[in-house]
Amino acid sequence: MAKMKAIEAVAKILELEGVTKAFGVPGAAINPFYAALRGLGTIEHVLARHVEGASHMAEGYTRANPGNIGLCIGTSGPAGTDMITGLYSAMADSIPILCITGQAPRARMHKEDFQAVDIEAIAKPVTKWAICVMEPAQLIGTFQQAFHIMRSGRPGPVLIDMPFDVQMAEIEFDAEAYQPMTAYKPAANRIQIEKALTMLNESDKPLLVSGGGVINANADKQLTEFAELVNVPVIPTLMGWGTIPDDHALMAGMCGLQTSHRYGNANMLASDFVLGLGNRFANRHTGSVDVYTKGRKFVHVDIEPTQIGRVFCPDLGIVSDAGAALDLFLEVAKEWKAAGKLKDRSAWVAECQERKRTMQRKTNFDNVPVKPQRVYQEMNKVFGRDTTYVSTIGLSQIAAAQFLHVYSARNWINCGQAGPLGWTIPAALGVVAADKSRNVVAISGDYDFQFMIEELAVGAQFKLPYIHVLVNNSYLGLIRQAQRGFDMDFCVQLSFENINSPELGEYGVDHVKVVEGLGCKAIRVYKPEEIAPALEQAKKLMAEFSVPVVVEVILERVTNVSMGVEIDAVNEFEELAEKGVDAPTAISMLD
């Protein structure tokens, strides 16, 4: 076997495990690893401006394509603690990313050395595994185990902390003898599938709920095929949006308190049976358990055993990878169809389709300043079926989910449970880094945009082009709307008169100047009819300069977006669509 520095073996293992891209910030304690990356020469590095940004770039990179595992790098001190938010976000959404940190030498770890912190202990609650490797020879097995853990069962992040002297030590390593470990994925058995299919077949108004686990399993095609085979409508969760195309006859809308369609909630409330596949029954999808479960039976299929029954006890729980379960569902359903055992669902499907046709929200507002609904209407006109949308949290994301259209898995890339502000820019850059041929469009409110705006410089430096639609009402809009229940509007206004940009009035930060200062392009629009031309111009600028292009739309200061505390009590604050002209880009026309 060959003798080499332990950190050189680590770099080679990353290559053998399929890593081709890394996001990070060098530092003294991690410089040995950077030297190993430089020597290896096969892993491209993207230099972030903030280490939290690097972790979100790694998330975006993982979420972009099946099999990807994003890598983020920093020191164990402030860099490691900065990456905690990214680890939390990845853990919450079952996203495998690998965080590597450089630690003080072993002899100084307990002596309050510069930037030495117990990052293992800090990271444990937000990772599948966090470890500080104290023996150089254990690095090989540790990294082998890390990839096995990230890929097995419910995917998730891992942090490996390496003391400086552990990195520098010499060990024996035979790269030719290294082999990645086979990931463990639980799979349903035929008895379970037959019981679940029997319950579905006995129901009158069944639905499939398709979650992020279907995307993680790369099983969207099986999901759609199964829905077509049994002729049962599908309710995707926000994390599962795209597992069935929005314009598919069996796409019954999203259900929930915020990121939902009117017809999605209505179809859920009319159902009598739900087969959940790879979903969490998260509270913003369900609202209260009593309302969500009343009058219907549930089968829950999930890869994580402890997820079954976490929110409520289903009538049948099946521990399985969503793809493995769908393969068996298809096998049994095909047999049953050939035998004439599957129930005719045409009347129920027609009922759901009629709700989809008639229960639309209005988008065609001509107001100046612009109403947000109009922004998404114009985006639907300009951006095609292959567009990948990236967003995180806020009224901008909620409205995007209500009005945009998604046609493929991984074309809606969203931070679900954690929802950290600032996520959108670095995540979008990570998606583009994974595939520069993708048509990527990010959506942010002004506060999310300002949180990590410095990462736009990464897009300029490394030529990572995408379009960023920035809807600016100079408010923490979602929190302002939530404060209505407390009869206040407190500490949520971002407005001020910018002495350097008086033309903005009270809209405060001049995003165009900041974006241009970071090396990117920006366009500002004030009127509805300016939006589509600006988006078309953004496409040309992006192609010409290969940098992020921001299109800022100045919104009316206050808009209350549809939401509520129960799926049967969503408040509609604006006019509803009564005819086709009210919602000209709706997925299903009113007339």
Q: Is 479 a catalytic site residue?
A: yes
Contacts of 287 (CB under 8 A, 6+ apart): 256, 257, 564, 565, 566, 567, 568
Which member of 140, 413, 458, 476 is catalytic? Answer: 476
Which member of 25, 95, 232, 458 is catalytic? Answer: 25
Cis geometry, peptide bond prior to residue 245 (ω within 30 degrees of 0): no
Measure Cα distances from 214 to 324, 390, 434 in Å: 10, 19, 20
Nearest to 123 by CA among 156, 145, 167: 156
Nearest-angstrom CA–CA distance, 44 and 61: 13
SS (H, E, C) 359-418: CCECCCCCCCCECHHHHHHHHHHHCCCCCEEEECCCHHHHHHHHHCCCCCCCCEEECCCC
The string of DSSP codes covering 294-324 is: TT-EEEEEESSGGGTTSSS--SEEEE--HHH
- Token couple for 359: 């229960």
Q: Name beta bridge partners: 275.
A: 208, 299
Q: Name beta bridge partners: 298.
A: 274
User: CB–CB of 91/150 below 8 Å?
Assistant: no
Strands 21-24, 70-75: pairing is parallel
Measure Cα distances from 258 to 48, 252, 489 in Å: 32, 16, 20
SS (H, E, C) 229-267: HHCCCEEECCCCCCCCCCCCCCECCCCCCCCCCHHHHHH
Which member of 19, 37, 46, 51 is catalytic? Answer: 51
Nearest to 83 by CA among 111, 123, 116, 113: 123
Q: Compute the Cα dihedral for 203, 207, 211, 215 and give only its sign.
A: positive
Q: Is 476 a catalytic site residue?
A: yes
- Beta strand segments in 475-579, E: 521-525, 549-554, 563-564, 570-571
Q: Is 37 a catalytic site residue?
A: no
Provide the 10 A C-beta neighbour count for residue 151.
19
User: CB–CB of 431/390 below 8 Å?
Assistant: yes
Provide the 10 A C-beta neighbour count for residue 204.
11
- Please, what is the Cα angle at 473 between 471 and 474, to 5 degrees? 115
For 92: left if phi > 0, alpha if psi spans -120 to 50, otherwise beta; the answer is alpha
- Token couple for 236: 């995707």
Which member of 46, 421, 425, 443 is catalytic? Answer: 421
Determine the angle formed by the axes of helices 346-358 and 262-270, rounding to 10 degrees: 150
Contacts of 439 (CB under 8 A, 6+ apart): 383, 384, 386, 387, 388
Q: Is 182 exposed, middle or buried (0-12, 13-18, 19+ CB in 10 A)?
A: exposed
Which member of 479, 514, 576, 590 is catalytic? Answer: 479
Active site residues: 25, 51, 421, 476, 479
